[in-house]
Structure 1
Amino acid sequence: MNHTAVTLPNKSVRARIKQDQSWSEKVFLILMYAFILLFSLVCVIPFWIILADSFASEASFLRHGYQLLPNEWSLAAYKYLLHGGQFLTSYRNSLFVTFVGTVLAVVMTSMFAYVLAHPKVKYRHVLSFLTYLAMVLGGGLVGFYIMVTNWLHLKDSLWALIVPYVLNPFYAFILVAFYKSLPYEINEAATIDGAGDIRLFSTIIVPISKPVIATVALFYAIQYWNDWYLSLLFIDNYKLHPLQLMIRQLISNLNVSSYVGGGAAYQVAAPTSAIQLATVCLTIGPIVLLYPFLQKYFVKGITIGAVKG
């Protein structure tokens, strides 16, 4: 009986192969790190230009344009924005609307979505259809204005900026899809243990759903923070203007004055270009600071989706 001899590579050959693999891995890692560094610079440089040039003098900005480091530094744009206190008032209004609106919207949307997803709710399909119609059709601008001003009496009130966005059908359907992916045996086990619907939802469903709820909360926060349309419709008292409408009015007035005046003297008195960059730096702060607190929930949501898939 013939046996075929299998020759294994000697130690020197195996060491050479291992060394070649290690060199190829090192080259691959170097290329990947270089690509990531280049991509990060492409993303960071525009933000740095906006931040740096917001401290540039108007004369330097008009003379040299956008620069990584301005030739002449100035705080004129920030002094102009903070002068009079309206900017801080509008900032406070936007923070209040964003915080209160996001909390109320997340609570209302998560509970409403749980009703739509619960298999024991009798008219859940009817409610889902009506929610879908509200998302697709809408009520029209005239009916919406009459409802907020005449029926709800929210004219010149910060609640006029909160109530219309409390329940977004699209975000509700995102939560419905997640709730339906949860095994119904969890509900049955909690019911057997004596938990009611409110306790079941608050102590079991909500902790499990933290990743998707955090995602919806971030969407709501961005929506409330960036909205200026509702304040343009319902807020006449400038003391109640949120930050976005205040900036819109400010930039519009600066552009009109600069266009009508047409002189360099006005542009030096009111640094139009630097003010536009300064407003970007001041308004983007809360959203940028909010994301690190929600990042772990995004990562957890991706992990849950990978395991379920």
Structure 2
Amino acid sequence: MFYMTAALKTKPTTGDRLLAIAVYAIIIAFALACLIPFWLVFLNSFAEESVLQTEGYKLWIDSFHLDAYRFVLAGKQVAKSYGVTVFVTVVGTASALLLTSTYAYVLSHRRVKYRNVLSFLTYFTMIFGAGLVGFYMLMVSWLHLKDSIWAMILPYLLNPFYAFILVAFFRNLPYEIYESATVDGVGDFRIFFRIVWPISTPALATVGLFYALQFWNDWWLSLLFIDDRDLHSLQMMIRQLMSSVSAASYVGGGTAYVSQPPTEGVKLATVCLTIGPIVLLYPYVQRHFVQGLTIGAVKG
């Protein structure tokens, strides 16, 4: 036993050390390749507009200016759009996660009689769509959601692909859990929310992050159904802001601006303001993210 333990504790060879150094070098290089673009965007958002136009993006700037942020944050529209986007993201993610998980639970349960038919109908919507005209008529003429904040929430409440991710996870759970709970007289709602929901945290966290990104980054629904500026989402506000800045840059010293607006700086500042909350959200779900992505990959 002593010789076996000593053999297991042998020192790594030169080849092992070189391999480890190569792996760490590749990881560091990949991390820098991902970090440097964000660093350039963040740092150069404080650069002077004339420096950006003449010298381009730099890894370090000599002086810091807040002209771009003052331009973006001028007025109350940014605060209103942030409030709309936060409400849509929080309410939409919670509602979509609840609806998708319950629907996936029905599709994965053996005792549901028409689960195969429901699965086919769900899969069918992934291949064929009704088109933009039918979708617009449904939202405006039938549901009367024009200039309603719910027009940016309801269309994304059930994503078929995310539903099938949860179906794969639920099917890997031991069926004896349901049988033992049923024998004890527990109903389906209590089984799902008291037993299935707590042990499905990895899959729910992964799907919840996907939904949060979808709601946060969406501007298409706001463009289609929202004309009221007070209900414009953050992405839609930024889109209009960039359009106005680009148009004003050709005017130069017109009536709108005394001098040329910080076009390049505004682009970088809007990226920083938009990506911040999502970047801060990711660490809270990171510990569940990898496990959630690998659900159904290995079957015991």
Q: In the alignment, which residue of structure 1 is the partner of 2:3?
A: none
Alignment equivalent of 2:203, drawn from 200, 208, 212: 212
SS of equivalent to 1:167: coil
Q: In the alignment, which residue of structure 2 is the partner of 1:191?
A: 182
Q: In the alignment, which residue of structure 2 is the partner of 1:11?
A: none
> Once the two structures are superposed, what CA deviation does each residue of 1:144-179 show, in whole Å capped at 9, x if it has no partner?
112112222211111110011111111111111211
Q: Distance in 2 between matches of 1:94 and 1:232?
A: 14
Q: Distance in 2 between matches of 1:267 and 1:121?
A: 68
CA deviation after TM superposition for structure 1 residue 26, in Å: 3.8
Q: In the alignment, which residue of structure 2 is the partner of 1:116?
A: 107
1:251 matched to 2:245? The reply is: no
Are the aligned partners of 1:98 and 1:221 in contact in 2 as well (CA < 8 Å)? yes
Are the aligned partners of 1:258 and 1:267 in contact in 2 as well (CA < 8 Å)? no
Q: Distance in 1 between matches of 2:284 and 2:194?
A: 22
Q: Distance in 2 between matches of 1:86 and 1:306?
A: 46
Alignment equivalent of 2:31, drawn from 32, 40, 45: 40
Are the aligned partners of 1:109 and 1:168 in contact in 2 as well (CA < 8 Å)? yes
Moved more, 128-137 or 59-68: 128-137
Q: Distance in 2 between matches of 1:109 and 1:303?
A: 19
SS of equivalent to 1:73: coil
User: What amino acid is the match of 2:66?
Assistant: L
User: What amino acid is the match of 2:48?
Assistant: S
Q: Distance in 1 between matches of 2:295 and 2:273?
A: 35
Alignment equivalent of 1:148, drawn from 139, 142, 146: 139
Q: In the alignment, which residue of structure 1 is the partner of 2:97?
A: 106
Alignment equivalent of 2:118, drawn from 118, 127, 132: 127
CA deviation after TM superposition for structure 1 residue 186, in Å: 1.1
Alignment equivalent of 2:82, drawn from 83, 88, 91: 91
Q: In the alignment, which residue of structure 2 is the partner of 1:6?
A: none
Quote the sequence identity (%): 58
Are the aligned partners of 2:252 and 2:259 in contact in 1 as well (CA < 8 Å)? no
1:200 matched to 2:178? The reply is: no
SS of equivalent to 2:111: coil
Q: Distance in 2 between matches of 1:68 and 1:205?
A: 49
1:228 matched to 2:234? The reply is: no
Q: 1:82 to 1:47 in 2, by over 3 A?
A: same
TM-score by length of 2: 0.90
CA deviation after TM superposition for structure 1 residue 268, in Å: 5.1
Are the aligned partners of 2:89 and 2:216 in contact in 1 as well (CA < 8 Å)? yes
1:54 matched to 2:45? The reply is: yes
1:72 matched to 2:60? The reply is: no
Alignment equivalent of 2:166, drawn from 175, 183, 187: 175
Unpaired runs of at least 5, structure 2: 1-6
Q: 1:173 to 1:304 in 2, by over 3 A?
A: closer
Q: Distance in 1 between matches of 2:113 and 2:21?
A: 59
SS of equivalent to 2:136: helix
User: What amino acid is the match of 1:243?
Assistant: L
Q: 1:308 to 1:301 in 2, by over 3 A?
A: farther
Q: 1:303 to 1:172 in 2, by over 3 A?
A: closer
> Once the two structures are superposed, what CA deviation does each residue of 1:3-48 show, in whole Å capped at 9, x if it has no partner?
xxxxxxxxxxx9xxx56x4554444433333332222212111110
Aligned residue pairs total 293
Matches within 5 A, 1:283-294: 283-294=274-285
User: What amino acid is the match of 1:140?
Assistant: G
Are the aligned partners of 1:60 and 1:70 in contact in 2 as well (CA < 8 Å)? no
Q: 1:148 to 1:302 in 2, by over 3 A?
A: closer
> Once the two structures are superposed, what CA deviation does each residue of 1:174-226 show, in whole Å capped at 9, x if it has no partner?
11121122221111011111110000001111122111111111111111011
CA deviation after TM superposition for structure 1 residue 305, in Å: 5.6
Q: Distance in 1 between matches of 2:268 and 2:32?
A: 20
Q: In the alignment, which residue of structure 2 is the partner of 1:8?
A: none
Are the aligned partners of 2:206 and 2:293 in contact in 1 as well (CA < 8 Å)? no
Q: Distance in 1 between matches of 2:167 and 2:197?
A: 13
CA deviation after TM superposition for structure 1 residue 63, in Å: 1.3
Are the aligned partners of 1:232 and 1:245 in contact in 2 as well (CA < 8 Å)? yes
Moved more, 123-132 or 33-42: 33-42
SS of equivalent to 1:284: helix
Q: Distance in 2 between matches of 1:55 and 1:253?
A: 21
Q: Distance in 1 between matches of 2:101 and 2:57?
A: 45
Whose radius of gyration is greater, 1 or 2? 1
